[in-house]
């Protein structure tokens, strides 16, 4: 079963890729410095290519390839975002960069000889800094094999006995730097979430206080003025009595309007926040004994979508906890989509006309978004809102 409510936004599947600009920003000082520090290792291959006995053409090609390699390395790392944590570029882009780097080193090899292998440290550092750990260390293992095997199979090449430790040390150093950056980003993100939660809690506390104190007082005033009006009706008619009735009626009307304004204000202070709903979802799923796969933060979601996505997250997790019988729940956030799915009994256990889903459908339509309800790949319930 699939239930879809569409606004003006086009229908589309859940984006599975990374936004085109993910991880990329204008060049920054840290990126330039980080990349430039490593250029020391290119001195020897450049010197070897310059002093090579190879033909002039190969020497020119080798030097040009090494300079292009160095420039590409610096440019690539300078374009990566560091300010709020190391954000990895798209994986496909990284593999193309690694392949291009190896190709340039192969062009430099006829002139630089075995010294061209010094460039492999850049390939290793790039892999460790930009790929997931398993893929990165697989690349490093492949580079180690190249360092050991190439001098054995290429005539005239001598083993670089001191290079292998340098390669491994450089890769481990880059890995350590990336871990420090990521941990700092996680701490910054946690601080932001704590601030958001504190603001939400303070807003809710203020709303409760206003409702309990001012709302109660206005309710009493309304009731008493209504009673006073009824008592005035028992008095003999006359100009003074009529004037008193009019004034009391005005007071009652103003009190009711003020009470309505207070309630509207309190309702406004209770708006949902995506950060708060994510924290609430984590607590609710843990309390229900449901294993959760939740995003660590909400930075990827633009501010204009966060309120709608917060309502979707609240409704989806509520359905999972109350109706699904699931043992696992996953939440996926992108810039224009939120998805909640589980491995429970499936969408047949939900009432599509229920108040919660009906309200979410109305909110999605108002925002020009699409609400979809269908069976998840795990066999359970899937709720998706695409903005």
pLDDT of residue 268: 56
pLDDT of residue 12: 35
Pseudo-torsion of CA 245, 246, 250, 252, nearest 10°? 20
Per-residue model confidence (pLDDT) at position 31: 59
DSSP readout, 81-124? --BTB--PPPHHHHHHHHHHHHHHHHHHHHHHGGGGGGGHHHHH
pLDDT of residue 265: 65
pLDDT at 337: 92
Q: Which residues contact 35 (CB under 8 A, 6 or more apart)?
A: 73, 74, 75, 76, 77, 78
C-beta separation of 281 from 294 below 8 A? yes
pLDDT at position 270, please? 53
Please state, in angstroms and rounded to a whole number, the distance separating the CA atoms of residues 66 and 58. Answer: 12
4 in Cβ contact with 60 (< 8 Å) = no
Count CA atoms within 13 Å of residue 255 on its CB side.
Answer: 19
**How much is the pLDDT for 348?**
57
Domain ranges of the chain: 29-161, 200-269, 300-386
Look up the CATH number of domain 300-386: 3.30.565.10
Query: Which ranges of the chain would DSSP assign to H, the alpha helix?
Result: 29-37, 43-50, 56-78, 91-112, 120-130, 133-153, 163-209, 216-232, 239-269, 274-287, 303-319, 355-366
Per-residue pLDDT of the chain (387 residues; tens, 9 = 90+): 444 444 433 333 333 333 333 333 443 455 566 667 777 778 788 888 888 888 888 889 888 988 888 888 888 877 765 544 455 677 788 889 899 889 988 888 888 888 888 888 888 888 888 888 888 899 999 998 888 888 888 887 877 767 788 888 888 888 888 888 778 777 876 777 777 777 767 776 776 666 666 766 777 777 778 888 788 788 888 888 778 878 878 787 777 777 777 666 665 555 577 888 888 888 888 888 888 888 877 888 888 888 889 989 988 888 888 877 888 899 999 989 999 988 887 765 444 445 577 878 888 888 888 898 888 777 788 899 998
pLDDT of residue 331: 92
Angstrom CA distances, 238 to 227, 234, 243, stand at 20, 12, 9
- pLDDT value, residue 11: 34
DSSP states of 360-381: HHHHHHHTT-EEEEEE-TTSSE
Give me the pLDDT at residue 232, please: 79
Q: Residue 278's pLDDT is what?
A: 87
């Amino acid at each position: 079963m699939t239930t879809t409510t569409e606004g003006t936004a086009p229908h589309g599947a859940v984006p599975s890729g990374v936004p085109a600009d993910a991880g990329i920003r204008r060049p920054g000082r840290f990126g330039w410095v980080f990349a430039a520090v490593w250029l020391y290792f290119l001195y020897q291959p450049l010197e070897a290519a310059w002093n090579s006995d190879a033909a002039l053409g190969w020497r020119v090609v080798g030097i040009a390839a090494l300079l292009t390699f160095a420039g590409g390395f610096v440019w690539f790392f300078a374009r990566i975002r560091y300010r709020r944590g190391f954000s990895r570029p798209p994986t496909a882009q990284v593999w193309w960069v690694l392949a291009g780097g190896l190709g340039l080193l192969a062009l430099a090899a006829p002139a630089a000889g075995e010294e061209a292998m010094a460039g492999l440290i850049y390939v290793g550092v790039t892999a460790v800094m930009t790929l997931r750990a398993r893929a990165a260390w697989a690349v490093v293992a492949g580079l180690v094999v190249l360092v050991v095997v190439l001098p054995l199979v290429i005539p005239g090449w001598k083993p670089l006995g001191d290079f292998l430790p340098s390669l491994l040390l450089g890769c481990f150093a880059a890995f350590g730097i990336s871990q420090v950056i990521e941990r700092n980003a996680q701490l910054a993100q946690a601080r932001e979430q704590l601030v958001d939660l504190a603001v939400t809690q303070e807003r809710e506390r203020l709303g409760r206080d206003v409702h309990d104190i001012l709302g109660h007082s206005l309710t009493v005033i309304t009731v008493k003025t209504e009673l006073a009006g009824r008592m005035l009706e028992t008095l003999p008619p006359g100009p003074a009595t009529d004037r008193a009735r009019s004034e009391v009626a005005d007071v009652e009307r103003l009190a009711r309007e003020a009470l309505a304004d207070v309630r509207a204000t309190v309702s406004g202070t209770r708006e949902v926040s995506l950060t708060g709903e994510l924290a609430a979802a984590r607590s609710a799923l843990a309390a229900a004994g449901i294993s959760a796969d939740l995003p660590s933060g909400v930075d990827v979601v633009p501010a204009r979508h966060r309120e709608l996505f917060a309502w979707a997250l609240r409704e989806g997790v509520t359905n999972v906890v109350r109706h699904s019988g699931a043992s696992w729940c996953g939440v996926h956030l992108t810039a224009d989509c939120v998805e909640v799915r589980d491995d429970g009994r499936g969408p047949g256990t939900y009432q599509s006309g229920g108040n919660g889903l009906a309200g979410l459908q109305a909110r999605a339509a108002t925002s020009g978004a699409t609400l979809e309800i269908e069976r998840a790949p795990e066999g359970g319930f899937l709720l998706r809102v695409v903005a």
